[in-house]
Structure 1
Amino acid sequence: MNPIKNLKFDKRTLINFLVVAIGSQIIYSINAVRSVLYEPFREALGVSNAQLGFLLSLIGIISMIMYVPGGWFQDRFSNRKLLSINLLITGLCGFYLAFAPSYNGLLVVFALFGITQEAFYWASVLKTVRILAKDDRQGTAFGALEFVRGSTEFATNALAMIIFTIVGQSVFGVKVALGIDSALIILMAIITWFVLPEEIYIKADTAKEKNKLALKGLLKVLLMKEVWMVGLAASGVYTVYIGLMYFLPFLQNVYGIPVGMVAIFGLVNTSLTRMISSPLAGVIGDHKFKSSTHFMRLAFALVICFLTAIILLPKNSSFMIPVLGVLMCITILCYMLRGVYYAPIGELKMPKEISGAAMSVAAFIGYSPMFWAYATYGYMMDNYDPVSAYTRIFSIQLTFAVVGFILTFGLGKIIERRKGLTDEAKQAA
């Protein structure tokens, strides 16, 4: 099942989609260096673990603050401008990181990342995919987006490792990797600028009128219950997703699984799972369930069952195989949900002139667990014995999965009702 072919795009639209999708992962290639080469990356920046932790938290804090006001920019300016300019700024910041800046300089760069990688950029990616795809193929499009991003992530992670190995497995190797990745980001900015069309959906003659209409659209979106429902359902997915990073230490600390086996499980259970699960979810949601919300409801129900199982399963090595299977099922379902969790915005037939604001507000709510989940899970790991800590983490995931199930049930009803009204209008015409 080819996720790209199922989009049914013409050649021009497909090129636009691929440029946006590839760019949406290339912009995080600097993060890939941090992920696969954590210690050398930290040494290259000249910071402690605590300082790097604060810098990474700063990205989340700034992005959450800027997501909602960023909604005004999403509808006021074209995707071409927003995507290419944010890519360019991110690439220049990456070059700056390669020259060991001061800590104050790092604070500025990572604060900028909160805007250029997240608030202004990511919402624009979501808006572009929503507009490119037809209303009945939103799930397929968002699933295909995750497929392309997962494939690109695998390539950038491999590139970082290859460069680091060739140059000599040193701090200098990390700096070279940062420089090459930054050059790729800037190249992607140039490609985006020349490939994407210049389109603004607000209908107004003057800049002043466009400013007013964009603000009016943002205020309208903030009062739409459907957008809040999509965002809260997405936050349920993201809360479960953040907890995935604790699956590996859970296996190690509670079930005593060897480090080598845990590493193999981690490789299979992350990038490879993402590349397969996300596009499959989009196609299934659109073609089998006729709506991503119906599929999400089923996926949330299964996540609830599996999380309940992992809490109840005995914590001894004889249950290692069932535990591995259950954790893998949760991961697969989580990536499937991630592949389509913003598709309902398109299925709700949100007008194009406010779709940017809608995506920004939904993303602000959806990614809000970044504010508290990492800190909460970390606190539990530090202050409880392993079994109690992981039980609490799984219980939080379970609670938010239940919330997601309830919200997607309600969203499905709203989408069905709007589809019925549209069909009636077509018949009347």
Structure 2
Amino acid sequence: MLVLGSAGTTLFLFPFLHEIYYDPLRLALGQTNVQIGSLSSAYGLASLIGYVPGGWLADRFKPRTLLPIGLIGTGIGGAFFASFPSYPFTLLLYVLWGAMTVVCWSTMIRATREWAVAGSQGRAFGLLESVRGVTEGAIGAAGVAVFAWAGSTSGALGTVIIGFAVLNIALGIIAFFTLDRAAPSGAKLQAASYSGWRELLPNPDLWLISLIVLSSYTAYTALYYFTPYSSSMLELSVAAAGAIAVGKIWLKPVAAIAAGFAADRWGVWQTMVFAFAILVASMMIFAISPGTAKNAPIMIANLACASLAVFAIRGVYFALIEECRIPESSTGSATGLISLVGFTPDIFVPPVAGYLLDSFPGESGYRILFGIVALACAMGLATTAMIGRRVRSRTQQA
């Protein structure tokens, strides 16, 4: 689990580097907000295309094979990225990172589901997300410290990127030598090959879970923009804004593990309804409250509430696969299909946010952005309630 969780952090360091280093990265690359958004869209599109075949691979090959490929490939791309290449070459790197992500993602989810014993799916996925949160916080804090120590310049950012590249390659080697060598059984492979797709595609639960992931991931992606919001609206320094972004990451392990225990005790969907309600309220506060230096403490506290809710949902939403009784033999394929829909915010949120921030400078752009996210979270709340009714109905019939 430690290797799986760490891999789930380092794989995403480069495509989401703008979460902490948005303004320094934009300046180092010499790009506009729209161009930075298009880089994330290129990553999201590559991931989107690959999620389904990535799920197919996860049902057929062992994590010991897939994870090293993704981690080492990501690290090699990061080494080139440290030179801050031209815009076209940077686009190609984000496409590469998207491909490496889907090689690993579904196999991580399948391995976690199979690792958990009966009645502990919530804790298993909560633990996975918690390990991701701890490693993300530690790596993020180290990166910010190095960036500040090296002078907060483009060269300092390049040093951080090189460190992240070495980390990915090293973890890929560790994964190869430490992960279980056992592949899924032949019987499971046959089930996944011939009947899995026929069972999955018409299953309403699969598509409801996809919408839930989409809603929460829209909020997760939008929270990246609190870093530039902090520096431009709340008048915080770039270093302080980065420190808040890293501090937010440390809430992930707390929220994820707490949500995991709550999900095993009271139910996955019940836990998520509560978290979505908090998330809707927090996004509305961002949308309607003045973003000024005077209100900085309130906005930072609200960010903490929104982050806790998002991380709680992310910690357990894949546990819905078990709660909705999707066959274990099709876990990889189900994860690929859910991700195909659920992670599309990687494609549309960055360019939409970039357009809003460029077209409506200042507070107006941020208010519109967070208002749209509040609507997406309300959709997630309603969809989770629908899942709950279906789960209750099956339980009563049983």
Q: Tell me the SS of whatever aligns to 1:197.
A: coil
Amino acid at match of 1:270: K
Bigger mean CA deviation after superposition, 212-221 or 391-400: 212-221
**C-alpha separation between the residues in 2 aligned to 1:221 and 1:268?**
38
Instruction: Show the 5 A alignment for 1:13-412.
Output: 17-30=1-14, 36=20, 48-49=31-32, 53-98=37-82, 106-117=90-101, 119-163=102-146, 174-201=157-184, 203-204=186-187, 213-214=192-193, 216-247=195-226, 257-260=234-237, 263=241, 266-267=244-245, 270-287=248-265, 289=266, 291-311=267-287, 313=289, 322-384=298-360, 386=362, 388-412=364-388
- Displacement of 1:63: 0.5
- Displacement of 1:356: 0.4
- Is residue 121–residue 264 contact of structure 2 (8 Å, CA) maintained in 1? yes
Q: Tell me the SS of whatever aligns to 2:371.
A: helix
Amino acid at match of 1:400: A
**C-alpha separation between the residues in 2 aligned to 1:78 and 1:418?**
33
Q: Tell me: CA distance 1:193–1:53, structure 2 relative to 1, closer, same or farther (3 Å).
A: same
Bigger mean CA deviation after superposition, 64-73 or 214-223: 214-223
CA-to-aligned-CA distance 1:374-418 (integer Å, 9 cap, x gap): 222332233336454344323322222221112111222333444
- Is residue 248–residue 304 contact of structure 2 (8 Å, CA) maintained in 1? no
**C-alpha separation between the residues in 1 aligned to 2:395 and 2:76?**
46
Q: Tell me: CA distance 1:344–1:72, structure 2 relative to 1, closer, same or farther (3 Å).
A: same
CA-to-aligned-CA distance 1:191-216 (integer Å, 9 cap, x gap): 222222234435359xxxx5894364
Give % identity: 28
Q: Tell me: CA distance 1:310–1:62, structure 2 relative to 1, closer, same or farther (3 Å).
A: closer
- Is residue 29–residue 156 contact of structure 1 (8 Å, CA) maintained in 2? no
Higher relative contact order (CA 8 A, sep 6+): 2
Bigger mean CA deviation after superposition, 137-146 or 99-108: 99-108
Question: TM-score by structure 2 length?
Answer: 0.84
Q: Tell me: CA distance 1:304–1:70, structure 2 relative to 1, closer, same or farther (3 Å).
A: same
- Displacement of 1:55: 3.4
Amino acid at match of 1:285: A
Q: Tell me the SS of whatever aligns to 1:76.
A: coil
**C-alpha separation between the residues in 1 aligned to 2:231 and 2:22?**
20
Question: TM-score by structure 1 length?
Answer: 0.78
- Displacement of 1:134: 2.8
- Displacement of 1:40: 6.7
Amino acid at match of 1:360: G
**C-alpha separation between the residues in 2 aligned to 1:71 and 1:194?**
23
**C-alpha separation between the residues in 1 aligned to 2:220 and 2:310?**
6
- Is residue 15–residue 43 contact of structure 2 (8 Å, CA) maintained in 1? no
CA-to-aligned-CA distance 1:56-91 (integer Å, 9 cap, x gap): 331111111111232221212222211122122222
CA-to-aligned-CA distance 1:19-72 (integer Å, 9 cap, x gap): 11112212334457665556776787x664566554333111111111123222
- Displacement of 1:344: 0.5
Query: Whose radius of gyration is greater, 1 or 2?
Result: 1
- Displacement of 1:419: 4.7
Bigger mean CA deviation after superposition, 34-43 or 270-279: 34-43
**C-alpha separation between the residues in 2 aligned to 1:88 and 1:213?**
28
- Is residue 72–residue 218 contact of structure 1 (8 Å, CA) maintained in 2? no
- Is residue 262–residue 271 contact of structure 2 (8 Å, CA) maintained in 1? yes
Amino acid at match of 1:236: S
- Displacement of 1:168: 7.3
Amino acid at match of 1:70: G
Q: Tell me the SS of whatever aligns to 1:259.
A: coil
**Paired residues, what number?**
396
**C-alpha separation between the residues in 2 aligned to 1:307 and 1:48?**
28
**C-alpha separation between the residues in 2 aligned to 1:351 and 1:34?**
37
- Is residue 269–residue 328 contact of structure 1 (8 Å, CA) maintained in 2? no
**Structure-2 residue corresponding to 1:11:** none
- Displacement of 1:298: 1.6
Which runs of 5 or more residues in structure 2 are unaligned? none
**C-alpha separation between the residues in 1 aligned to 2:82 and 2:276?**
42
Q: Tell me: CA distance 1:180–1:304, structure 2 relative to 1, closer, same or farther (3 Å).
A: closer
Q: Tell me: CA distance 1:59–1:215, structure 2 relative to 1, closer, same or farther (3 Å).
A: farther
- Displacement of 1:312: 5.0
Bigger mean CA deviation after superposition, 179-188 or 155-164: 155-164
